[in-house]
Structure 1
Amino acid sequence: MLIGDNYVFVELQKTGSTHIKQQLQALLGGRSEGKHNKPSDELLGPGRVIIGSVRDPWSWYLSLWSYGCQRRGSLYTRLVDPQNWQHSQPLLQARQREHGDLRLDQLTPQRAHDVWYADTGSAEGFREWLRAVCLPEMRTTVQSGFEASGLGRWGCGMMSYRYLKLFTHGVTTLAQEVDSAEGLRLWTQRHFRPAHMVRLHALAEDLITTVQALGGSLTPAQCEALRQARPTNRSSRPHPFGHYYDAQALDDVARREWLLIERHGFQRPSLG
């Protein structure tokens, strides 16, 4: 989180937030406080608006997986810890008995350690990991609070949960307040707190628009510098995007993150 005189930047994980913070601090000033936390009502007070960050969900999941291949991140820790599988494994077994569509030997914490996160060059490892984290039966394993939020009722994925948890007052009452997908759209619109969003694929232009909306004065040279600056702290992978995704994996993400895709106009990537 970055706190300025008239704004608070709230950062969603794996959305170029380190780079965005650096640019905002250079242009508008501000102090850093924590990282992926959300501001209190007292901190916002009168006159401060929230700036958020987001990226298309297909690249978000790939970046999150790449980070886990470095043995880092809360999701990596959860997936390799057998204790976090205690609720999900009976659900996976019940699904397999009913539908027969799972490979249970590929859904274990040992598999996560030995295969899913073993090689940043492995398309198979990524796709297997992605299928697992998109399974409804895995919600309690991949993210604390996800199942209780009720978001899974509308087919939403882990990214949508983190997004709504961070950018609204919270999702603890959502299950009682929303009774349809359309209701979820309206609830999100009503409770969404950021006044400005910086999208990773349009980072420079969104930053320019945001800084100017907050009263910052940018010269043509500063605008050009923002356009030329390269994001920092990027996940490292030996292959391009198309190596990791196939059509099924693209579909899995599209189904789970429909809310974010709709809200921010993200386009399904091409594999051609």
Structure 2
Amino acid sequence: MLLFDGLLYLDVQKTGSTFVTAFLQACYRKPQIHYHQHARLRRALAPGTLGVISVREPLAQYRSLFRYGLDGKGGLYHRLKDQDLDEVYQPTQEGFETFVEILLAPESARLLHDSFGPVARKFGIGLMTYRHLLLAMKWPLATLKKLPRDQLHSAYPDLRIWRESLRQEHLTDDLRDLAARHPDLFDATAVEAFLAPRPKINPSARGAELSTDLSKPLMARLLERESLVYKTFYPEALAAHRARIG
């Protein structure tokens, strides 16, 4: 979470948040108030604060997390290692699919995040949707505990604390558009200078050749578990994936 006077950025993991954070710190006109990487909102917001969240297609997030683990990095890698599951980290398509299967298995939820198990069982959501909800709503765990299991999708638009979203796949364009929609908040010269072409930040070194063409049953499970993120941000990708798997 990165809080400025007038703007709150919700920095979901593996969504280009390092780049977005650097962009905001370089281009936003008003003072920074607080920064705690990937933290939830735990304070009252001033009226009129603009909420911004970054997102990424869930399948791409799974692949990115797997590649990060191939380098022996990340909290998820260490959680799986503690459970003697780190042998899954092999730079092969089979290794990637086994990784996705582990993350989608209901019995794995308690291993992936301390509070994920009850929420996963109640709503049938996947890790990427869970990570999104932890930052997208104020007091997310208490809110999800009170929410009926069949009302997550319908209630989400009213529960979310963000108004603008940034897609990792179109990050430069989305950041430029964000600044254009709020010219009073951003220094236009700094925006253009920052968004000039530059090397990628924080790339994973291994697994670049891995395909996201998962088996049809596994892909169907992933789409079901991550449907909130797909329906909210990637409806066209969701339709394309469903058409592929039939």
SS in 2 for 1:152: helix
Q: Name the CA distance, whole Å, in 1 between partners of 2:193 and 2:213.
A: 33
Q: Name the CA distance, whole Å, in 1 between partners of 2:3 and 2:198.
A: 22
- Residue 126 (structure 1) aligns with: 96
Deviation at 1:160?
1.0
Deviation at 1:156?
1.0
Q: Name the CA distance, whole Å, in 1 between partners of 2:8 and 2:212.
A: 37
TM-score under structure 2 length normalisation = 0.83
Tell me how large the CA RMSD over aligned residues is: 2.6
Q: Name the CA distance, whole Å, in 2 between partners of 1:51 and 1:254.
A: 24
CA separation of 1:175/1:46 partners in 2, compared to 1, >3 Å: closer, same or farther? closer
Q: Retained in 1: the 8 A contact 2:92–2:207?
A: no
- Residue 240 (structure 1) aligns with: 209
Q: Name the CA distance, whole Å, in 1 between partners of 2:70 and 2:56.
A: 20
SS in 2 for 1:41: coil
Identity of aligned residues (%): 26
Letter in 2 for 1:46: P
- Where structure 1 has 5 or more consecutive residues not aligned to the other structure, the ranges are 82-108
- Residue 79 (structure 2) aligns with: 78
Q: Name the CA distance, whole Å, in 2 between partners of 1:148 and 1:62.
A: 25
Q: Name the CA distance, whole Å, in 2 between partners of 1:224 and 1:264.
A: 28
Q: Retained in 1: the 8 A contact 2:136–2:162?
A: yes
TM-score under structure 1 length normalisation = 0.76
Deviation at 1:166?
1.2
* 1:97-176 equivalences in 2 (<5 Å): 109-110=83-84, 112-113=85-86, 115-117=87-89, 119=90, 121-149=91-119, 151-169=120-138, 170-176=140-146
- Residue 263 (structure 1) aligns with: 232
Q: Deviations for 1:83-131, whole angstroms, at most 9, x for unmatched residues?
A: xxxxxxxxxxxxxxxxxxxxxxxxxx33x12x212x3x22111111110
Deviation at 1:208?
1.7
- Residue 184 (structure 1) aligns with: 152
- Where structure 2 has 5 or more consecutive residues not aligned to the other structure, the ranges are none
Deviation at 1:178?
1.6
Deviation at 1:241?
4.5
Length, aligned pairs only = 235
Q: Deviations for 1:55-96, whole angstroms, at most 9, x for unmatched residues?
A: 000010111122222222222222222xxxxxxxxxxxxxxx
